[in-house]
Chain A
Amino acid sequence: MLRYHMQGFSGYGVQYSPFFDNRLAVAAGSNFGLVGNGKLFILEIDRSGRIVEVNSFLTQDCLFDLAWNESHENQVLVAQGDGTLRLFDTTFKEFPIAIFKEHEREVFSCNWNLVNRQNFLSSSWDGSIKIWSPLRKQSLMTLTPRPLEITKMVDPLNAIILKKKSFTGISKNRNCVYQAQFSPHDQNLVLSCSGNSYASLFDIRLPSGKNQNNFLVHSGLEALTCDFNKYRPYVVATGGVDNAIRIWDIRMLNKNESATIKRTVPGQLHNSSCINEIPNAHGLAIRKVTWSPHHSNILMSASYDMTCRIWRDLSNDGAKETYKTNSTDATKGSIFNFTQHSEFVFGADWSLWGKPGYVASTAWDGNLFVWNGLG
């Protein structure tokens, strides 16, 4: 295990460089990201196994996420608390090379398109997702997940579930789009998850109003994170405040329900089929889920419970579907539990390089740890 401590800053996001096997970027904020400066750390693992800072950029507000430019080895994009996105060149000092300002509140996630490598997206507490080109100051497109009004839920069962939830927080944060991701298989697909407990799947080729399918993913509690499986284009994972990880097949309408539920709004309701679930995967809310880049059935989660966990998705054996669920396993499919962090873990990323299984994680404790999750 390797460690780097960011003095005075708490880690929110981490990503391995897609170009250099020893380079990492970490997005961080002072005062636990609640108020004050942010800082982007560019770190390298040297030959002796130490993590060293090679560059860093201080920003005026906290940084909540980052994304390496997939077509330029020196560029990193950050999501900032003041509603801006900033593109930094790691060979420069101090200032960003571009600023993208449209969001009205904190930008909580950003993600570079892995397929066309030209676009990136951002998701914000203002309830929108924006798609951008690094060449343009204005966004190319704004996506707004539609079911923001819980009372306008179409599915009567979901309405029952949500009405019975007496939680107060959901009304305050429900517009927040905590994370959005481009599909690694199709440059036109975007998945997002929101404080209203819904995940939304967008096809940006379709006209607005018909380009989204929304599905309830976390029982009315906030959905904080989502990710596309890197090998199975139709499989996504979500995590949220119900402490559960759920795995969905976005192809399938639920066969048993599709006939009985009236679709009053076209495209509003998409009963994506939940094919697996890890209930109580963590003791507290799950902040990050991310599928392995090397395995079709392994994923990692990071949580407020200060741990990172590696899971096997037992509904797939790596080659085909098994139709098992993780509930049928004594360990619930748990492979590894990383317990070195001493605060909420917000960011984690798999290394694309070397022996499969290396990951980097960062937490409110200011630590960046590099460790092997697969032994």
Chain B
Amino acid sequence: MSQRLQSIKDHLVESAMGKGESKRKNSLLEKRPEDVVIVAANRSAIGKGFKGAFKDVNTDYLLYNFLNEFIGRFPEPLRADLNLIEEVACGNVLNVGAGATEHRAACLASGIPYSTPFVALNRQCSSGLTAVNDIANKIKVGQIDIGLALGVESMTNNYKNVNPLGMISSEELQKNREAKKCLIPMGITNENVAANFKISRKDQDEFAANSYQKAYKAKNEGLFEDEILPIKLPDGSICQSDEGPRPNVTAESLSSIRPAFIKDRGTTTAGNASQVSDGVAGVLLARRSVANQLNLPVLGRYIDFQTVGVPPEIMGVGPAYAIPKVLEATGLQVQDIDIFEINEAFAAQALYCIHKLGIDLNKVNPRGGAIALGHPLGCTGARQVATILRELKKDQIGVVSMCIGTGMGAAAIFIKE
């Protein structure tokens, strides 16, 4: 009797426990038919703003030429019938209306049928990742089976479109203490982070130099070759290599650069902040049941995405709050994560987040970050997804995160397959 009773008790206890358990790492490692999987993730090279390879072309050109290459490499069943793509979401920050018109046009030109709808998204620096989340959610709830998330930015051409400070027209809002914080320049928000949390200029320069060294090494070792698709330029030349990374950058060489935002006592410089850049990236997502049916390859799977709001005047702390939120939602711990792709908007804010969360520095941006590679705003999130899926090994877990202007943070979790 006691064994029969014990057996029944085991079933009850474990099934009651199972409800909490279902979100833990071990169950995340299991593949399920309803998983949202990444079939392909690629990017262009990242061009230097104002003087790089992409300085003479705008986002529509970049997106069109990227899509030609991206779609050309789609697995056969999908390339043969682009109607299978049921939604395109494209992140962009600086274009008028987030590029709703010209980016839809680029999609049509590249062969995506008019019957596939398009949405332009702008959540500042997280726009590319937000596009991935938008598509993933639609797949999750069954609105669509396959979708394409994109991110594109030409800071060269469109930085002038929008007052980088943003605009508040209402006089009442201009005087409102909270509202006007949204107008604080990003560099100043970073100075606030550096000053409030005592991140020294030396630490920032060391972090930035490290980013340059990692990126240059990765570039030379050809680690980006798999993720970068060539972009053909109007003059017939081809750009397929990042322009940001450069050799021989050290903390000493960066230490001589003058502060950019607060001349006398600032610590944020052009050397320890992200570069102004142009680029485009794309992530193709599907439900696993459909990917299996079509025999599509699977790079990895999307697990979860969370955003948080933080005080606008220290917007750079965003990842320090977004990452714990997404970890909690999935039942993971910081130690469970194998690689963090944390966008290096500025060295100070990235360092703050890394220290605050107790992240092993060796797990952060192993192939360099935006300080060395560049930060084409709307493209960055999708670019990080393409990069992290090459950095992770099978069954490793990765986090992609960034801070967001006007005070937010975003973080998403992916598992490599």
Residues of chain A at the chain B interface (Cβ within 8 Å): 33-35, 81, 106, 157, 160-161, 164-165, 167-170, 172-173, 176, 219-222, 224, 241-243, 254-256, 260, 273-277, 279-280, 283-285, 287, 304, 315, 321, 323-329, 344
CA distance A242 to B298 in the complex (A): 26
* Residue in B25, B33, B287 whose beta carbon sits within 8 Å of that of A274 in the complex: B33
Given A157-B29, A255-B292: A221 and B12 interface contact (C-beta under 8 Å): no
| Interface residue from A35, A255, A277 paired with B295 (Cβ < 8 Å) | A255
Please tell me which one of the listed residues B29, B290, B417 contacts residue A160 in the complex, with CB atoms under 8 A apart: B29
Are A324 and B142 closer than 8 Å at their CB atoms?
A: yes
Give the distance in Å from the alpha carbon of A346 to the alpha carbon of B227 in the complex. Answer: 53
Complex: chain A residue closest to B24, CB-CB: A164
Tell whether, in the assembled complex, residue A35 and residue B1 are in contact, meaning their CB atoms are under 8 Å apart.
Answer: yes
Chain B residues lying within 8 Å of A275, measured Cβ to Cβ, are: 33, 289
| Option from B16, B292, B417 in Cβ contact (under 8 Å) with A273 | B292
Is B34 a contact of A220 with CB atoms below 8 Å? no
Chain A residues whose C-beta falls within 8 Å of the C-beta of B80 in the assembled complex: none
| A169 pairs with B14, CB closer than 8 A | yes
Q: Is the pair A241, B15 in contact by a Cβ cutoff of 8 Å?
A: yes
16 contacts between A and B (CB under 8 A): A34-B8, A106-B4, A161-B30, A164-B24, A164-B25, A169-B7, A169-B13, A170-B10, A241-B10, A241-B11, A256-B297, A284-B15, A285-B15, A304-B11, A324-B142, A325-B142
Hey, which chain A residues are within 8 Å of B30, CB to CB?
Answer: 157, 161, 219
Residue of B nearest to A286 (CB): B15
Q: Give complex CA distance A33, B292 in Å.
A: 44
**Which of B7, B26, B33 meets A172, CB within 8 Å?**
B7
Report A246 CB to chain B, min CB distance, Å. Answer: 9
Question: What bracket does the count of chain B residues touching chain A fall in?
Answer: 35 or more
Q: Most chain-A CB neighbours within 10 Å: which of B4, B5, B295?
A: B4
Q: Tell me the bound Cα distance from A224 to B15 in angstroms.
A: 12
Does B11 lie within 8 Å of A285, measured CB to CB? yes
- A161 near B29 (CB under 8 angstroms)? yes
Knowing that A34-B1, A161-B29, A161-B30 touch, tell me 7 more A-B residue pairs with CB under 8 angstroms.
A241-B11, A242-B15, A256-B297, A276-B289, A323-B293, A325-B32, A329-B142
Distance in angstroms between the alpha carbons of A168 and B17 in the assembled complex: 12
CB contacts (< 8 Å) of A283 on chain B: these are: 19
Interface residue B242 (Cβ < 8 Å from any Cβ of A): no
Q: Roughly how many angstroms separate A243 CA and B12 CA in the complex, as a whole number?
A: 10
User: Which 9 residue pairs of A and B lie closest in terms of their CB atoms, listed nearest first?
Assistant: A328-B142, A169-B10, A285-B15, A327-B34, A325-B34, A35-B1, A164-B26, A285-B11, A323-B289
Report chain B residues within 8 Å CB of A284: 11-12, 15-16
Contacts of A304 in B (CB 8 A): 11-12, 15
Contact assessment for B145 and A323 in the assembled complex, using a CB-CB cutoff below 8 Å: yes
Give residues 18-39 of B contacting A (CB, 8 Å).
18-19, 22, 24-27, 29-34
A285 touches B33 (CB 8 A): no
Contacts of A285 in B (CB 8 A): 11-12, 14-15
Give every chain A residue within 8 A of B10 (Cβ-Cβ): 167-170, 172-173, 222, 241
The answer to the question of B141 belonging to the interface, with a C-beta cut-off of 8 Å to chain A, is yes
Contacts of A170 in B (CB 8 A): 10, 14
A172-B289 in contact (CB<8A):
no
- Which residues of chain B are within 8 angstroms of A176 by Cβ–Cβ distance? 7
The yes or no answer to B102 lying at the interface (CB within 8 A) is no
B225 interface residue per 8 A CB criterion? no
Q: How many whole Å from B403's CB to the nearest CB in chain A?
A: 32
B 131-172 binary contact with A (CB < 8 Å = 1; else 0): 000000000111001000000000000000000000000000
